[in-house]
Structure 1
């Protein structure tokens, strides 16, 4: 067939132009006009429009080389997909070479086991060129694309591994909002072809599966009798206010109580002294509502009088 999808054609027998957007059979193609309607037309009734070329004929029409940045750019090969200004159903594929390399670029399609060369040409650094045209409304029937590129530069650079990207476009690729693509002065979708490969550190991945469980901090088992007199707890007690002393004593009490429960001790004695009864009151207030405490009582009156409390835990 002499006409290909993407060719801009004119009807011989009437004043109508449009893009070839489908191949119906060997002698018939679908042409979408500026109103967006696809019309079946015999290839014998079509001719190319002067100034428009098929995909294959644009291979050597890359835009003039632009000045390359002083800093050598290694990466940045994009495919811009934008709708045609005259027919929104027509999508043009434009290659954007933002690298400092000269690219020997080719595009091949495959559908139903049949391969077709669509484009081959040299794309200059910072250059752009249209490489393909498709019917955006027929996206589900698009072929598989294989993009290939060889990198060339006269600069002192180590040879770069050739690029090969196989792509099957899906509806989700064009579901997002279109963005302004400065290089072609159109709104469309931008697909990066030389996306860096995700590098997986096998060792770190392995370690993540076999990370040993963190050991819980060990809590020392408290003595059966815990003396809460401040002189037993702080050497600088004489410099502490009454509220600070009480805070230190209650902290020691709470820590010992929790440790006794962790170690499943049957009971523990807190020596708080008689004094004004403030520390004793706070201790009794806390243990009277504690879910792990079975009962509490004055401990060994013959030894401590009313200056100690024994706490008995639930079994």
Structure 2
């Protein structure tokens, strides 16, 4: 395939240009223009825009020099980073981040419906990063599983770790957390640690924990009188979440806040859920109706909230 996701192209027969946001086949790609509409087009009907900086060109590469002394040798620090394309939000790029002093031999195989495809093979130098895969964001729910295999190499007097063999099948909830600054890239994205430290259980501390006195009740923050359950108030990354995940997050926050209101003996509390299709309101009322600590509940002030909030009176 001549083009990659994120490449900037111009139509041969029309006055249009945009970014490649989907690889449909060897002969067909999807191009998204300034209007955010994706247009399927034959590869033969577009051309690269010369001199246009690609997503890869904008990422500064770290030094590939390895550690020269054992004292400076870094054994840990391998991550998979997922970063939005800086020019088109319709595409994300996967980068292998190598903060260790090892050279890493990496292979990446995608798997979908028992179909396997080699996506990347190469050497990642110490203290460097490499783009290894790209995917259209709109297809997140049907992304293939990604299998990464990593071998370590160094010419120093070091026992190399066992090879890593990791398979990831991403879901929307994996991107529910806030973006972080990606090491070696100076870009914001989501970071997944691949070489987690093994959990070592201290037998003595474990034994002591069985004989510890009961801990004092954990302090619970006192909620405000009005609690907004709109998903954009709960997480800044809500655009990646499915409807089911959003509803689950809203209900979890509702239960936690209601419990806090009961602990602090608030006389009443209002939950702002919005009108929408009524699903969240229905679920809240169902839970409130089963709670014996609730005296009654009703639609909150209609002149302020319409039918988008519920007022709860506590016993």
Structure with greater Cα Rg: 1
* 1:160 match: 161
| Structure 1 CA distance for aligned equivalents of residues 154 and 38 of structure 2 | 44
| Structure 2 CA distance for aligned equivalents of residues 133 and 36 of structure 1 | 18
String of CA shifts for 1:129-160, please: whole Å, max 9, x gaps.
Answer: 11111112210010000111111001101132
String of CA shifts for 1:42-99, please: whole Å, max 9, x gaps.
Answer: 22212345578999x99xxx76514638521111111111111111121011111000
* 2:123 match: 122
1:113 Cα deviation from its structure 2 partner: 1.3
* 1:42 match: 42
RMSD: 3.7
* 1:10 match: 10
Do 1:35 and 1:87's aligned partners in 2 also have CA atoms closer than 8 Å?
no
1:20 Cα deviation from its structure 2 partner: 2.8
1:199 Cα deviation from its structure 2 partner: 5.9
1:17 Cα deviation from its structure 2 partner: 3.9
Do 1:9 and 1:17's aligned partners in 2 also have CA atoms closer than 8 Å?
yes
| Structure 2 CA distance for aligned equivalents of residues 186 and 69 of structure 1 | 28
* 1:65 match: 64
| Structure 2 CA distance for aligned equivalents of residues 122 and 150 of structure 1 | 9
| Structure 1 CA distance for aligned equivalents of residues 53 and 149 of structure 2 | 22
Q: For structure 2, which runs of at least 5 residues remain unmatched after alignment?
A: 211-315
Q: Quick check: 16-25 or 35-44, which moved more?
A: 16-25
SS at match of 2:13: coil
* 1:93 match: 94
The TM-score normalised by the length of structure 2 is: 0.56
Q: How does 1:101-140 map to 2 (within 5 A)?
A: 101-140=102-141
Q: For structure 1, which runs of at least 5 residues remain unmatched after alignment?
A: 212-315
Do 1:34 and 1:86's aligned partners in 2 also have CA atoms closer than 8 Å?
no
Do 2:108 and 2:147's aligned partners in 1 also have CA atoms closer than 8 Å?
yes
Q: Count residues with an aligned counterpart.
A: 207
